[in-house]
Amino acid sequence: MTKLCEDYIAGKPEVRALFGREPESLMTQAPAGRPWDGPLAGALRELQPKLGITRQFTGDEPVIITGQQPGLFLGPMYTLYKAVTTVALARRLRERHGTACVPIFWVASEDHDFEEVRWFAYNTPDGQLVREVYTPRDGQGEAADIAGLPLHKVPVDHELSRFVERLVAQAAGSDQTAEVAAMLRGTLAEAASVSNWFARLMAALFKDTDLVIFAPHMRTARVASMPLMRREIESPLATTALLEKSAHRLESLGYAPPILKAANACNFFLMVNGRRRKVVFTKGRFMLPEEDGQTFAQEELLALLETAPERFSPNVGLRPVVQQALFPAAAYVAGPGEIAYWAQLKPVFDHHGITMPVVWPRSRAVMITPKERRRLAAFGLAVNDLALPEDQLLHRVLAVAPTPLSDALERRRAAVDDELAALVRELEAAAHPSTVVLAEQLRGLAVRGFERIGNNLLMSDTRRVEETKKRLVMLRNRLAPFGKPQERVLSPFNYLLSQGLGFVDRLLKELDPEDWRIGEIEWL
């Protein structure tokens, strides 16, 4: 978790001042709604049945919203935690205030960073860690040219079906596996793109909740955001300057700003020949560096916005503001990294005259089995310790249960160190400064020498070392894969295929949206 997120959750005043309302205010003040854009609300109603769900909303309710890039097999576990927190928070506010809140999941279908989402990871039954990478193919079986394609245009092909079957084959034996496997196969067969498959999976998993699925590439959404985009074109680089200023403010508080932009970078993209291109403003014109420097005058870009608004989309510094322009969000459910970049956005909200929503930290958790919990206790470790470098972790665990020889070595080390420390004191008292230096060097050599002997003793029992190493690797693969938090690596289907479709309902019961600590969820 980022330091800024920690300080935000702790309520540090200088951090909270970077945002809008305090998150705790949601529980004391009922959220207010406003009429949504009519065509957008209609399109949203029509989208849900296409994804296999039905939803009822009037189109003027307050919203609890979250979003994520559409990763393969839903990406890492935190995607599920974000959606669960959003649904649970909307329910909690309805119970607390009697106000209906609509939970919405913003599928970032316009995103074009395929490298970030083209992989997924899972564990095999024997504890191995598998990372699969998807490469879409063209009609000749060659890697397709997808550079710059938004994810709603990145195709799905037979390789994903092979991934499904490999993942299903590796699942722990469970009477739930067949149902989840059928859902994976069925949604993939109906999917038109990577983002569409993601949306169908989310709809299937949350079909018994109120979660509404939204895809921002819908033309109605682009039409509804035209006033905001028009202002970006009319005042090029104004929000870029605001983001730079807020970056400096974060730095002055001791935090690394996550949004750093070139001074001439605009905060929107333009679709050209189906590909999403960044825009810069230089010498009085808008230029597309990825399109051989093609340029537009301001009036040309404004005219294009009027006729083809679907070609314009916001970047990371503007997307949350567009989101708030489209929906009356009382809160945005954010992960630790997102909270850091939201800390730069309040001036951009103010510039567009839009009230910044509450930024609500999402639930965090670790999936853990009873056996893993017992093994951690035996090793004297917590889950967070598994992120340590492997050699350091191994040494720490081996040292928990010292041998008789290592106990004897420690007694002698302490005795030698006491004698050398006494020698240093005697030389200091006798006023022999140069000799004191030599004695201190000798003491340091003794310390390092005993450390080497101790390490050799710890590693001398090769059978014990290899068995401990094997168990640590398995724990790391399951609880801290690649040395990262579990929720940032492993796919939800690592658990769904054995836990079944009721897994989401269990998360809704076990994860309290008002508890921002890292929880532990036991599974078998």
Residue 212 and residue 216: Cα distance in Å, rounded?
13
269 and 193, same structural domain?
A: no
Give which of 240, 243, 233, 302 is closest to 265, Cα–Cα: 240
Residue 463 domain flag: yes
Q: What φ, ψ does residue 87 adopt, rounded to 5°?
A: -65, -45
Residue 223 and residue 120: Cα distance in Å, rounded?
34
**Number of domains within the chain:** 3
Residue 13 domain flag: no
What's the rounded mean pLDDT across residues 425-443?
83
374 and 326, same structural domain?
A: no
pLDDT confidence of residue 399? 78
- pLDDT, tens digit (0-9, with 9 covering 90-100), for 33-65: 999 999 999 999 999 999 999 999 999 999 999
259 and 127, same structural domain?
A: no
pLDDT confidence of residue 19? 97
- pLDDT, tens digit (0-9, with 9 covering 90-100), for 348-366: 999 999 999 999 999 999 9
pLDDT confidence of residue 352? 97
217 and 77, same structural domain?
A: yes
pLDDT confidence of residue 434? 82
The last residue of one of the domains, among 320, 355, 390, is 355
Residue 445 and residue 449: Cα distance in Å, rounded?
6
483 and 504, same structural domain?
A: no
- pLDDT, tens digit (0-9, with 9 covering 90-100), for 216-234: 999 999 999 999 999 999 9
Q: Write out the E strands in 440-517.
A: none
The last residue of one of the domains, among 302, 325, 355, is 355
Residue 398 domain flag: yes
The last residue of one of the domains, among 355, 388, 416, is 355
Tell me the two tokens of residue 342.
């939201």
What's the rounded mean pLDDT across residues 91-105?
96
Residue 324 and residue 484: Cα distance in Å, rounded?
32
For residue 172, pLDDT beyond 70: no
- pLDDT, tens digit (0-9, with 9 covering 90-100), for 466-499: 898 999 999 999 999 999 999 999 999 999 999 9
pLDDT confidence of residue 430? 82
What's the rounded mean pLDDT across residues 91-99?
96
Residue 10 domain flag: no
100 and 208, same structural domain?
A: yes
200 and 241, same structural domain?
A: no
Q: Give the global pTM.
A: 0.91
Lowest mean pLDDT, pick from 216-230, 268-282, 393-407: 393-407
141 or 45, higher pLDDT: 45
For 306, the domain range is 226-333+344-355
164 and 37, same structural domain?
A: yes
What's the rounded mean pLDDT across residues 258-284?
96
3-class DSSP state for residue 366? strand
What's the rounded mean pLDDT across residues 119-144?
93
Residue 161 and residue 169: Cα distance in Å, rounded?
12
Residue 23 domain flag: no
Residue 261 domain flag: yes
411 and 288, same structural domain?
A: no
350 and 249, same structural domain?
A: yes
509 and 474, same structural domain?
A: no
Residue 511 domain flag: yes
- Mean model confidence pLDDT for the chain: 93
What DSSP character marks residue 414? H
Q: What percent of the chain has pLDDT over 90?
A: 81
What's the rounded mean pLDDT across residues 510-515?
97
What's the rounded mean pLDDT across residues 192-196?
97
Residue 364 domain flag: no
160 and 69, same structural domain?
A: yes
Helix (H), strand (E) at residue 15: helix 13-16
Cβ-based burial of 214 (10 A; exposed 0-12, middle 13-18, buried ≥19): buried
